[in-house]
């Protein structure tokens, strides 16, 4: 029987916090070089407030991190005094710069070894709510994956059944032939379980309470990526 292994990315194949921190510092420099005083007026906390207002007014895009960031840049640049057309153009340029830095990830130990091993026996794909691009040269993992389902590109996010349906349709498989690997008890574990796919919880820090409270039950649990091949093998029978 054919089996598709789908992977979450952020906090499953790398730690996302330092990636975003570096990217935000890069953006601060980018804006300050072009618009002196911008970074002081629109600090991270101010931009977060702008983002929350945008979400409050447009809850339907709350999952789309790329669109949200673009709108934050557009709004802040207009408030800074740029004409609307120039603000929109500069916001797009800023977003492109951010997206380049967004891909500069530091892989968890053993990621490449495990993906190389799994790729010998299974088809691999990505289902992510983030805007990392697994096929980007900085990430350097594109050769292991057949395709990626990104929330900001498809208009839906985990735990919605829609994203898992897209993966199943693209692979030409039933949900029962999918094993999803991720760190989030709700987005990954519950999302996969609700559509009838199998799930493996990458519980890197040994968390329990969060999963228990939400009633998220995975088919398997691993604390190291080195445990994945064995866990997948047991579920793929």
Question: Is residue 212 very low, low, confident or very high in pLDDT (cuts 50, 70, 90)?
Answer: low
CA dist 22 to 87, 106, 135, 148, 190, Å? Answer: 24, 12, 20, 24, 31
DSSP 30-46: HHHHHSTTHHHHT-HHH
CA dist 168 to 4, 153, 155, Å? Answer: 8, 17, 16
pLDDT at 233 over 60: yes
Q: Express each pLDDT in 154-208 by its tens digit.
A: 999 999 999 999 999 999 999 999 999 999 999 999 999 999 999 999 998 776 6
For the entire predicted model, the pTM comes to 0.92
**pLDDT given at position 78:** 97
**pLDDT given at position 215:** 58
**pLDDT given at position 237:** 74
Sign for the CA dihedral angle at 112, 168, 132, 42 comes to negative
Residue among 13, 5, 3, 64 at smallest CA distance from 183: 13
**pLDDT given at position 217:** 83
Q: Which long-range contacts (CB under 8 A, 24 or more apart) does 145-148 make?
A: 145/7, 146/171, 147/171
CA dist 113 to 23, 45, 144, 187, Å? Answer: 27, 39, 11, 26
Q: Express each pLDDT in 58-79 by its tens digit.
A: 999 999 999 999 999 999 999 9
pLDDT at 27 over 80: yes
DSSP 14: B
Q: How many CA atoms, within 13 angstroms, populate the side-chain half-sphere of residue 107? A: 13
The residues near 74 (Cβ < 8 Å, ≥ 6 apart) are 87, 88, 91
Please provide the average confidence, as pLDDT, over all residues in the chain: 94
Question: Is residue 236 very low, low, confident or very high in pLDDT (cuts 50, 70, 90)?
Answer: confident
Sign for the CA dihedral angle at 2, 139, 101, 187 comes to positive
Q: Express each pLDDT in 42-56 by its tens digit.
A: 998 999 999 999 999
């Amino acid at each position: 029987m054919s089996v598709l292994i789908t992977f979450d990315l952020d906090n499953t194949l790398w730690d996302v916090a330092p990636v975003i921190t570096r990217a935000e510092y890069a953006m601060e420099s980018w804006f300050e070089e072009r618009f002196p005083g911008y970074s002081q007026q629109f600090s991270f906390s101010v931009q977060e407030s702008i983002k929350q207002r945008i979400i409050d007014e447009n809850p339907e895009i709350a999952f789309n991190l790329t669109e949200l960031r673009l709108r934050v840049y557009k709004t802040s640049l207009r408030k800074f005094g740029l004409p609307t057309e120039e603000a929109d153009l500069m916001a797009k340029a800023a977003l492109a710069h951010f997206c380049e830095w967004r891909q500069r990830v530091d892989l968890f130990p053993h990621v490449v070894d495990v993906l190389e091993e799994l790729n010998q026996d299974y088809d691999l794909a990505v289902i992510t709510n983030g805007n990392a691009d697994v096929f980007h040269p900085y990430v350097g993992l594109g050769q292991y994956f057949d395709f990626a389902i990104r929330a900001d590109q498809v208009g839906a996010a985990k735990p919605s059944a829609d994203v898992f349906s897209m993966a199943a349709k693209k692979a030409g498989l039933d949900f029962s032939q999918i094993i999803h690997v991720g760190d989030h008890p709700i987005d990954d574990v519950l999302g996969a379980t609700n559509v009838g796919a199998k799930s493996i919880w990458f519980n890197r820090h040994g968390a329990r309470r969060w999963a228990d409270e939400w009633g998220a039950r995975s088919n398997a649990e691993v604390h190291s990526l080195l445990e994945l091949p064995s866990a997948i093998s047991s579920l793929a029978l």
